[in-house]
Structure 1
Amino acid sequence: MRLLQRYITMELFRVFAMVLTGISVLLVFVGVFQQASENGLGAMEVIQILPYVLYSLLPITIPATMLLTVTVVYGRMAGDQELTAARAAGINLLSLIWPSLLMGAMLSVLALLLTDQVIPWSIQKIQETVLVKMEKIFLDQLRADHQFVESSQGLAITVIDVQDKTLIKPTIRYTPDNGQIFTIQAESARIRFNIQERTAWIKIVGGYINMDDGHGAWIREEEYPFPLPMVDKQPKARHMAVKEISEELEEITATRRQQESHRVLARSSHLLTGHFEQLAMSSFVELVQQQHVDNRRVDRLSTEYHSRFALAGSCFFFVLVGSPFSIMQAKRQFLTSFFMVFMPIVFLYYPVVMLAMNQSKNGMVPPESVMWIANIATGVIGIYLLRRVVRN
């Protein structure tokens, strides 16, 4: 790398580090405050999740920071006539811009790695911290209200009193995924949270379990697992790595093929035996299951898979637009140039990305094509501006 390129690269790194530090510190406190207010975290829990919130915010701050960086560096160099002097010495302007393009490409790869590997890990650590606090919140709510209802998990608990972690005369009603409702009435029960398994274990002492089909049994001492309250049964797509998303998509595809084979056999059996009513019912159930379970999950996973690469690549395309634009606006203040290029990104780029994500999650459009529309449009504009700068 020649002297002039080294000078530009060092300027880019210096400004980028300063701006990223300032923006990250500001957003970290906003993110920590949001997590604390949503989950009722104390001072110690806030300190524990502080670094993890920083990791989760970096993919958001890096593209905007890099855009501001190239605006500051190239705007100042153009305003001080440094670029004009370089061109007068016979130096091609592209050779002065490629350090920013290379840095933008490297930061795009870094953003992808952060989104794919670091953010799921940091979110898991935040959830573990929240779950430890949630046990106390759960017991405090039972102690104060004598009941706890989590309709999304099908769990309802009422108690007479709570002593330490022991529930006095609890009544537990739970509806698992198979739809078999059962109710447990006990003299006492002790609860413990398993953070790794995302499961709450309730040890029943001296109780009776009653099923909705009329069957029941006495319990002398037994421990039952329940899903943790306020925790999603299925991990969100944005909390998963690309490898995990690909594996789940392959698993869903394999399950669909297996279910389709079973349905074909069932249809053949109903046709041979003349049970046409069962054939119609099985077709209806098949349609409902396919629409409301598999397709929705596949759409969300596919959207997250492709949007992760597209959003990570935005850093490079922002540099492609910001570098020549800041050179063209040399006589303006760098903040003016930054907002002139950043406002269209805020009001055009991100709305297009959000619209594409929403439509692809709903299965309206294929995510592998629409998620790149905003980047392609930004790239076309950037190449046009770059050609104008080089020619003039």
Structure 2
Amino acid sequence: MRRWDGSTPPKPSTSSEGWALVALVAGVLLLHLLIIDQPTLSYVFDEAHYVPAARCLMAGTGCNEEHPPLAKVLIALSIQAFGDRGFGWRLPSVFAGSFTLVLLYLLARRLTDGRVALLAAFLLGFENLWFVHSSIAMLDIPAFFFAMLGVYLFTGQRWWLAGLALGVGMLAKGVVAMVFIALVLYALLSQERWYSKAALAVTTRVGLSVGIPAALTFVAGLGLYDLVYQAFPSPLHHLASMASYHQTIGSPAMSDSVHPLRWFSGFPNSPYFVTSIQAEDGSIPRDVLQYMDQPNLVILLFIWLAIPLVWPDIRARQPLALLSSLLVGVPYLLFLLVAHVRVTYPFYMLLFMPGQCILSALALSKLPRGATLTFCAGVLAWFFFWFPRNPLAPWE
């Protein structure tokens, strides 16, 4: 029996696959817990914006309204539950980043075999940039958890639920809308005669079935925020304010800005500063720890080999190969366009890293087992070399 996108349902997962996934997620969670509270009372990178914003929400005041509110609401709830310290700030990102591995496995497993699915989850789990952002209180990882949930629901033809998940993701970070565009293109290209009127009609129906719930969820969420915090007269005013803010961020030669054309060629490490909350002399001390904006280059640079290896499957419109290539290609092309009008940072790659890990896993499945094991060893070596903190060293 074939699905709407031409895929054939895979064989059911085995118990060994399930235990391997549990071990992977548990191991990643443990690594997070080793560093989650360090530094305890200092901000890493843009935590300096989002943790104070979460405190504003707890005090009944709206702030940092240039970004959607959901991730900051999650940080605020976590602070109330676990305390106003590093552990409380970062727990939402830790859970979102770790459990995205489960969603990635389930998505890949739905469209291929368990080996590829586990390999994709492994690659994302030990991707340095993903791990770093899953370790700090920022907007991206909670947003992309809901984005991946939307993709998973979409491949199960649960259109309105997929739209709901994407809308929730957009309430954490608006770039999740790029995932919706990729899914609409997938709905079109996965049909046998994608250029026909019938295919366009099906794609329009699917797009509306997903897009309307996504838009309504996003607008309703902004409206609820504006009502509770009396921030804007309406969600449309809120959207206009966010758009106006982002238009003011030009594209100067900033030290931490990296053009998308350089993302897949490697670029110099840029440290994420740690900003202390209190300083006796009133200054803001900055101490550089090993929180870097550098992805795992073993995975990143493999894209140049992965695309040629998987290209026959993409041309044949094999569902997982087509979907993952669109989840990477569409956001990347849109970021190329964005780079003409505003700064672009390396961590913007987080949006398509799950898709990139699937592409890499599909490519590795075509290589000899020894090559795959060597590649995975390289991934682990790079990951632990750039691990944010040495878990064996005493805390400062």
Q: Could you say which structure has the higher strand fraction?
A: 1
Highest relative contact order (Cα 8 Å, sep 6+), 1 or 2?
2
Q: TM-score range by the shorter chain?
A: under 0.3
Question: TM-score, normalized by length of structure 2?
Answer: 0.26
Q: Could you say which structure has the higher helix fraction?
A: 1
Q: Which has the larger radius of gyration?
A: 1
